[in-house]
Amino acid sequence: MSSHSSEGTSSEQRASSVEIVKERNGIDQVLLKNSRGAIVRVSLYGGQVRSWKNERGEELLFTSSKAVFKPPKAVRGGIPICFPQFGNCGTLEQHGFARNKLWVIEENPPALPPTDSVGKTFVDLLLKPSEDDMKIWPHSFEFRLRVCLGAEGNLTLIPRIRNMNCKPFSFSFAFHTYFSISDINEVRVEGLETLDYLDNLHQRERFTEQETSLTFESEVDRVYVSSANMVAILDHEKKRTFMIRKEGLPDVVVWNPWGRKSKAIADFGDDEYKKMLCLDGACVETPITLKPNEEWKGRLELSLINSSLGP
Ligand SMILES: O=P(O)(O)OC[C@H]1O[C@@H](O)[C@H](O)[C@@H](O)[C@@H]1O
């Protein structure tokens, strides 16, 4: 099985492991555990990371108390995958179909560099289009996703998308990450200053970020274009910082529906907007075009540190 634990064990350490369990909807879920007790759960439904817990057992990703765990809806929380379309700028359903499909575990994926496996516990997933998918998006692809839990508790996602067509195609993409935060009024985001963004609340008008760090007082729904490869969410109350490192994912989507819109989302609690921030590594304004047999590879690495970035 192409799910691996490659950490060494000592008598003091728990062994790292990969287990398959059934979710309440009967679908398989992969549990990655490292030797310090951190755990990542990945559902084959949507290839979606559902949970990321650190060694202290603290949940680092948000999931709504009203989330629906039955197909065909994507689960509201964790890290849904938006592919082959982000948002509703296209002919497909909002955020594309990958998040609503059953993925499989891939036994022998094409090799990745040793740095993507050594010291990590990981699983490889695969999505191929069904006949029905091909009717609405007539492009043959293979979407591979490696989900890795590092020895230090870092969560890394490595997407690879290959064009199996004889014609080029383009897609947009996002890891729609729901971070769990203490209070939306208490967090700030660094790494987006001076960037241009398209504001979905103003018909996608283009603005330039004027703030040195982003704080939140109302609904936000933006795509920051061509950001640096590192963004941070500083949570003052919890005294911790999420570091988001990304490659091949130039854009950053920032979303929080705030109070009024939360009430209109059926699978989201009225006040839950206070406890989450969506910050996605994405290719939205910079869609990817693949020639026949060409492959795109990205990388998102999430880690947690317990001190502020700034002086
Ligand atoms: O409810 P969904 O389909 O998961 O989307 C949630 C949100 O995702 C965000 O990324 C979009 O910019 C929002 O407009 C959207 O409301």
User: What average pLDDT does the chain have?
Assistant: 93
Q: How far is the CA of 84 from the centre of ligand 1 (A)?
A: 15
Q: Mutation test of ligand 1: which of 95, 97, 258 has the most ligand atoms closer than 8 Å to its C-beta? A: 95
Residues in the annotated binding site for substrate: 76, 94, 99
- Written as six digits, the tokens of 182 are 């203490």
Q: How far is the CA of 177 from the centre of ligand 1 (A)?
A: 11
Q: Looking at the predicted complex, does its ipTM rise above 0.90?
A: yes
Give tens-digit pLDDT for 27-38.
999 999 999 999
Contact 255, 164 (CB under 8 A): no
Q: Mutation test of ligand 1: which of 176, 199, 280 has the most ligand atoms closer than 8 Å to its C-beta? A: 176
Work out which ligand 1 atom sits closest to the CA atom of 94. Answer: 3
Q: Any idea which architecture 17-306 has in CATH?
A: Distorted Sandwich (2.70)
Residues in the annotated binding site: 76, 94, 99
Q: How far is the CA of 87 from the centre of ligand 1 (A)?
A: 7
Residues of the chain above pLDDT 70, percent: 94
Contact 64, 269 (CB under 8 A): yes
Report the nearest-CA residue for atom 16 of ligand 1.
Answer: 257
- Rounded mean pLDDT of 105-110? 94
Which pLDDT score, from 0 to 100, does residue 307 have?
61
Q: Mutation test of ligand 1: which of 94, 252, 263 has the most ligand atoms closer than 8 Å to its C-beta? A: 94
Give tens-digit pLDDT for 39-92.
999 999 999 999 999 999 999 999 999 999 988 889 999 999 999 999 998 999
Query: In terms of DSSP bridges, do strands 169-175 and 39-43 run parallel, antiparallel, or are they unpaired?
Result: unpaired
pTM: 0.95
Which pLDDT score, from 0 to 100, does residue 14 have?
67
Give tens-digit pLDDT for 197-240.
999 999 999 999 999 999 999 999 999 999 999 999 999 999 99
Query: In terms of DSSP bridges, do strands 299-305 and 155-163 run parallel, antiparallel, or are they unpaired?
Result: antiparallel
65: Cβ below 6 Å to ligand 1?
Answer: no
Which pLDDT score, from 0 to 100, does residue 301 have?
98
Which pLDDT score, from 0 to 100, does residue 5 have?
61
Alpha carbon separation from 17 to 60, 90, 150 (Å, rounded)? 20, 41, 12
Q: How far is the CA of 19 from the centre of ligand 1 (A)?
A: 31
**Exposed, middle or buried: residue 131 (CB in 10 Å: 0-12, 13-18, 19+)?**
exposed
